[in-house]
Amino acid sequence: MHVCLWQGHPRPTVGAQPRPRGLRLCEAASCGSAHCGPRARRPPGTECTLREEEAAESWLLPTLGRDGVEGIWECRFPSCSPPVHPLFSKSHSVTFQHFLELLVDRRDFLRLGAVGAGAAAFAPLSACAPDELPIAGHFPQGIASGLHSPTQVVLWTRVDPRVSAAPSCTWEVASDPAMTTVVASGTAPVSAGADHCVKVLVGGLAPDTNYWYRFTADAMQSPVGRTRTLPVAAAPVGSLKLAVTTCQHYSAGFYSAWRQISQQPLDAVLFLGDYIYENSMGPIGVRSEPIATCKTAEEYRAKYRRYKTDPDLQAAHAAHPWMVIWDDHELWNDHDSVEIATQQARADAAHEAWFLYQPVWPIDHFQIYRSLRWGNLADLALLDTRQYRGTHLDDGLLFTEMTPELADPNRSLLGSTQRDWLLNTLTAAETDNVAWKLLGSQVMVSPIRFVDLDTPEERAKNPGLVRHAGLYTNTDGWTGFSAERDVLLNHLGENEIGNVIVLTGDYHAFFQADVRQDYDDDTSPHVLTEFVVSSITSTTLNLVEQVIASANGGLLAAHPALNFSNLDLNGWGLFELVASKATMTFYGHDSKVNETPRPIARFEVPSGTNRATRLPL
């Protein structure tokens, strides 16, 4: 028998969100989480009793809820017998560093500036099989679509094998939301090998046109979703409106940002990576995520199955077509090409799960970098800054010095093939007179340098000083591949490629910066503008960056300066484009309390300037 403690209001079903939010503490998080509360489904032999309203014992973490505690339910259940996690031992002393390591990944932990060599890593929370999701009809993961070409769209769904044994399902595309005028239809296989996911590339459609679609299995229809085709490459296009999003750790918060996005009049959603997290926040998470760490194909697939049951995420997928790329957590934190080669089976399982569950049509094996042309208005180059990158060099505890190793011209973030493709794509867009050149980058291009050592005075003392010398943070981004960043910036400047905007995720913070061709030369021209959007839910613990004096009252100025930062809020960005200007509005909120994001900053980039101006809200 094992104990599950639910502090807060009892949770009626496995898939429900506790409202108000409480904290579940289980000896076996993945075994007990489904059985907490008086109305939950429990295996035979489970005994649940409500303790009187009382203060939790001292060894329990305090509730993370803001609305008080109704009571503490204690459930004893016989479902499995994993080892007791040390966090739940009355004799165990939970140190601050232990708490932080459970809360954040390694890179985020270093951002906090914690002192010492670091606490011992927590063991997996459970050796049991993941909680089974409740049955929720034929299409429990909803539907989705992806932008693909002027005449094609990608449609996606999943059929629950516990409900249907059908070997195929039908799909329909219509020119109206009532699905009265069907313009394309067909059948698609449903197989266990694809985890019962269905993905269809529908062709023969009209360019720059909205369509609606649905699936049917066993005469049961899915919800209706909206999708659209791209404009023809050279066609005149008046506008583009995107939701720019990233980083949606399921256990870190609620998806109220997706609910808001689903209600926006958008052309599409751009998702910049970390759709799933291979790890779980365990008992301090806002929501239950049974799998502690993904290592197998089934574990990665189970993550997608759980994430995609969220109704707000489903609503955003149904409302808009998506453009999706991965970052690191779809595999594991801070991986690189060397680590992939040493853990090839795990990497293949993770990549395959991503392709099974995302509305993206394969290009060449696991290649995801690609470009999408939005008529004559914009060219969007979507990057892969993970799969081909060189070895990750360790960050310093607080700051990292720009060393010859980090500045090595042989180090590559993109790999030579993707780098050449990117430079050629940018040149072609400029040659074709495309108004705006957009880059979707998982990681930040702009440097965050706290101490500038590449000054005339320092270089006079040391002529051999490394280029862009100084103390930085975030060498996981383009700063860790400084020479390749210079290749990009020089290509833009030397070829006079204008109106370049980078849309970036990863950081769990909002930033805005304008980048010069040589950011150590104040006379060098600006060659790009960058907007970094914060996370949908993932933890925003950027304590080291709080010292930057970039519109947030920090102690040190960044060199070069950042025009804006907000390091505390989750959220997303509304990106609007016309020929004469680009506009970005940052929406921020605290995802842990399920509140609706609100506008926190707005910027405008006039055509021909490569510089952003902050606008009043």
3-state secondary structure 459-511: HHHCCCCCCCCEEEECCCCHHHHHHHHHHHHHHHHHCCCCCEEEEECCCCCEE
Enter the tokens of residue 72. Answer: 């503490």
Residues paired with residue 585 on neighbouring β-strands, in sequence order: 574, 602
Assigned domain for 111 exists: no
pLDDT at 329 over 60: yes
Torsion from C-alpha of 540, 439, 387, 326, nearest 10 degrees = 50
Nearest to 327 by CA among 475, 479, 575, 507: 507
Cβ count within 10 A of residue 397: 15
Average pLDDT estimate for 556-560: 81
Strand order in the sheet with 197-202: 197-202, 153-158, 143-147, 322-324, 268-271, 240-245, 570-578, 581-589, 598-606, 613-615
Angle formed by the axes of helices 416-431 and 482-494, nearest 10°: 20
One domain for residues 215 and 248:
no
Instruction: Clarify whether residues 323 and 175 are in a common domain.
Output: no
> pLDDT-based confidence at 117, cuts 50/70/90?
very low
Give the pLDDT confidence score for residue 441 in this predicted structure.
Answer: 98
Q: Determine, yes or no, domain membership for 134.
A: no
Of the three residues 175, 199, 228, the one that is the final residue of a domain is 228
CATH of residue 541: 3.60.21.70
Identify which has the larger pLDDT, 2 or 338. Answer: 338
In the chain, the number of structural domains is 3
Backbone phi, psi, residue 185, to 5°: -160, 165
Query: pLDDT at position 247, please?
Result: 98
Q: Hey, what are 425's tokens?
A: 């794509």
- Whether 390 has a pLDDT exceeding 90, the answer reads yes
Domain end point (choices 68, 94, 120): 94
Mean pLDDT, rounded, for 480-502: 98
Q: According to the model, what pLDDT value does residue 102 have?
A: 41
Distance in angstroms (rounded) separating the CA atoms of residues 544 and 109: 10
Q: How confident is the model at residue 469 (pLDDT cuts 50, 70, 90)?
A: very high
Residues 435 and 322 in one domain: yes
Report, as an integer, the average pLDDT of 172-189: 98
The string of pLDDT tens digits covering residues 573-601 is 999 999 999 999 999 999 999 899 999 99
Residue 318 has pLDDT above 90, yes or no: yes
pLDDT mean over 299-320: 97
Residues 403 and 478 in one domain: yes
Last residue of a domain, one of 166, 199, 228: 228
Taking only the tens place, the pLDDT of each residue in 5-62 is 333 333 333 233 332 233 333 322 333 333 333 333 344 444 444 433 332 222 222 2
* In-domain check, residue 124: no
Q: What is the mean pLDDT of residues 427-448?
A: 97
Question: pTM of the full predicted structure?
Answer: 0.82
Residue 125 lies inside a defined structural domain of this protein? no
For residues 471 and 481, what is the distance between their CA atoms, to the nearest angstrom?
15
One domain for residues 475 and 383 = yes
Residue 275 and residue 196 share a domain: no
User: In this structure, is residue 384 part of a structural domain?
Assistant: yes
b/e 398-433 (16+ beta carbons within 10 angstroms → b): bbbebeeebbbeebbbbbeebbebbbebbeebbeee
Looking at residue 219, its pLDDT comes to 95
Q: Is the pLDDT of residue 101 over 70?
A: no
What's the mean pLDDT in 195-210? 98
Q: What percent of the chain has pLDDT over 90?
A: 69
* Mean pLDDT score, 79-100: 32
pLDDT at 571: 98
Q: Tell me how crowded residue 188 is: count the other CB atoms within 10 A of its CB.
A: 16
pLDDT at residue 395, rounded to an integer: 74
pLDDT at 291: 85
Closest CA to 282 of 538, 30, 594: 30
- pLDDT, residue 228, reads 98
d(CA 146, CA 159) in angstroms, rounded, equals: 19
Least trusted range by pLDDT, from 356-360, 446-450, 605-609: 446-450
Between CA 31 and CA 574 the distance in angstroms is 40
Contact 569, 591 (CB under 8 A): no
Helix (H) or strand (E) holding 323: strand 322-324
Beta bridge partners of 416: none
**560 preceded by cis ω (within 30°)?**
yes
What is the structure's pLDDT at 235?
A: 97
- Is residue 215 located within the same domain as residue 282? no
Per-residue pLDDT tens digits for 153-166: 999 999 999 999 99
Asked whether residue 186 falls in the same domain as residue 253, the answer is: no
Q: What percent of the chain has pLDDT over 70?
A: 76
DSSP code of residue 265: -
Nearest Cα neighbor of 373 from 328, 320, 316, 430 is: 430
Q: In terms of domains, do 87 and 166 share one?
A: no
- Average pLDDT of the chain, as a whole number: 82
Look at residue 563 and tell me if it is in a domain.
yes
Per-range mean pLDDT, top range of 105-119, 268-282, 387-401: 268-282
Same domain, 363 and 420: yes
Residues 224 and 259 in one domain: no
**440 in any annotated domain:** yes
What's the CATH number where 209 sits? Answer: 2.60.40.380
Give the CA-trace dihedral at 336, 337, 339, 340, to 10 degrees: 110
Q: Is the residue at 468 inside a domain? A: yes
Domain residue limits at 33: 2-94
Distance in Å from the first CA to the final CA of the chain:
56
Quote the pLDDT of residue 131. 63
Distance in angstroms (rounded) separating the CA atoms of residues 12 and 84: 25
Yes or no: say if 566 and 531 are a contact pair by the CB < 8 Å rule.
no
Q: Give pLDDT, residue 346.
A: 98
Confirm if 230 and 242 have CB atoms less than 8 A apart. no
Q: Are residues 594 and 456 in the same domain?
A: yes
CA distances from 327 to 272, 283, 296, 535 (A): 7, 25, 18, 13
